[in-house]
Chains A and B, each alone.
Chain A
Amino acid sequence: MPTSLQESPGARVGLSIAVATGLYGVSFGALSVSSGLDVWQTQALSLLLFSGGSQFAFIGVIAGGGTPVAAASAAALLGIRNAVYGMQMNMLLQPRRWRRLAAAHVTIDESLATSTGQTDPLEQRRGFWVAGVGIFVLWNLFTLVGALAGDAIGDPKQWGLDGAAVAAFLALLWPRLRSREAGAIAAVCALATVLAVPFVPPGVPILVAAVVAALIGWFGYRSGPSGEGLEPDIDPYPQPDDPSRTATS
């Protein structure tokens, strides 16, 4: 039974996720300007790239003295899971024309999680759009706040902003370490990074780790349920015509 928008569980979850996630924009804005980007460049990333992990990757490489090419490569690779999300959302929403472009832009970890957490198709739709658009608006607003505040406070090291970047990356990684195998992949890639740092230009160690991770993923693949915890954040959604799924709403 469809409910009004005020009582919609999908919209409620979406709104609370939007508020909780949008606030992180402050840390992105502050870290970005301390990495050497200006306020406009920072804002361009939040408006146009709009994918937290990729944005942090871009400024993380620049902060380490890496080239803009390496920064863009790291950001692009970290966004690959969004293609998988896009396919899942396309099956759920089947948007047409301009809605398809808008849906693609707000396809991120959080909007997918909100949508697939709902069982009713209407709520899946509401959850996706409320979370996606809500986060987009707040993330951009708070990016600007962080960028302007970060620009005004002087030496970022004195305030521990480089420590904040380390903490942010660890916090993005943490929820993905759900299995021993995921932990092992993280450890191997961390080691590859440390070994590569003295020998290649800044930013490239991250791409070395990406190659290692992709090779593990490709050749370590075994069919069956053994890939526990290694799929993108959200389990692939069951087929949309699966009757057991719609019957539970």
Chain B
Amino acid sequence: MSLWFWIVVACAVGFLTKLVGYLLPRKWLTNPRVARVAGTLTIGLLASLTVANTVATGAALAVDARLGALAAAAVALWLKAPFLVVVIVGALAAAGLRLLGLP
């Protein structure tokens, strides 16, 4: 139930964030400093989510097959593979390394 509640909250906040852009006076959001924070926040959060999903297991750090998935995905991206291919490469790398005995 609690999960459902926060799903609804996230959805409501997400929609209102989009709507606020249509309602606010132009000068608020064209402020270059605000636009820059929106940009740095996006980069910082995505970097953090990438790393957290690679090395965090609960509240502990762990080295496992996910590190191989990160490396394989980076190579795929460097070769300009499309999004879906990158995701599949990441899955194959993790699954393959586990077959070889990595945790």
Contact = CB atoms under 8 A, between A and B. Distances in A.
Interface of A: 20, 23-24, 26-27, 37, 41, 44-45, 48-51, 53-54, 56-58, 60, 62-65, 68-69, 71-72, 74-91, 95, 100-101, 103-105, 107, 157-174, 176-177, 182, 185-190, 192-194, 197-202, 205-206, 208-210, 212-214, 216-218, 220-221, 223, 227, 230-232, 236
B15 to A, nearest CB: 6
A150 to B, nearest CB: 12
A194 B55 contact: yes
Given A49-B14, A72-B9, A83 B73 contact: no
Interface of B: 2-11, 13-15, 17-22, 24, 26, 28-30, 32-61, 65-66, 68-70, 72-74, 76-77, 82-84, 86-96, 98
9 nearest A-B residue pairs (beta carbon): A86-B21, A167-B90, A213-B44, A163-B94, A163-B69, A217-B40, A160-B95, A209-B48, A160-B94
B14 A54 contact: yes
A168 B50 CA distance: 8
Secondary structure of the A side of the interface? Answer: helix
Nearest to B88: A164
B42 A78 contact: yes
A213 B40 contact: yes
A170 B17 contact: no
Contact of A162 (B9, B48, B66, B96): B66
Contact of B18 (A45, A72, A107, A188): A107
A197 B60 contact: yes
Given A171-B86, A230-B40, 5 more contacts: A44-B8, A48-B11, A157-B98, A171-B73, A197-B59
Contacts, number: 342
A193 B52 contact: yes
Contact of B21 (A20, A76, A107, A189): A107
A41 B40 CA distance: 30
Contacts of B70: 166-167, 170
Contacts of B10: 45, 49, 54, 58, 71-72, 75-76
Given A83-B29, A160-B95, A60 B49 contact: yes
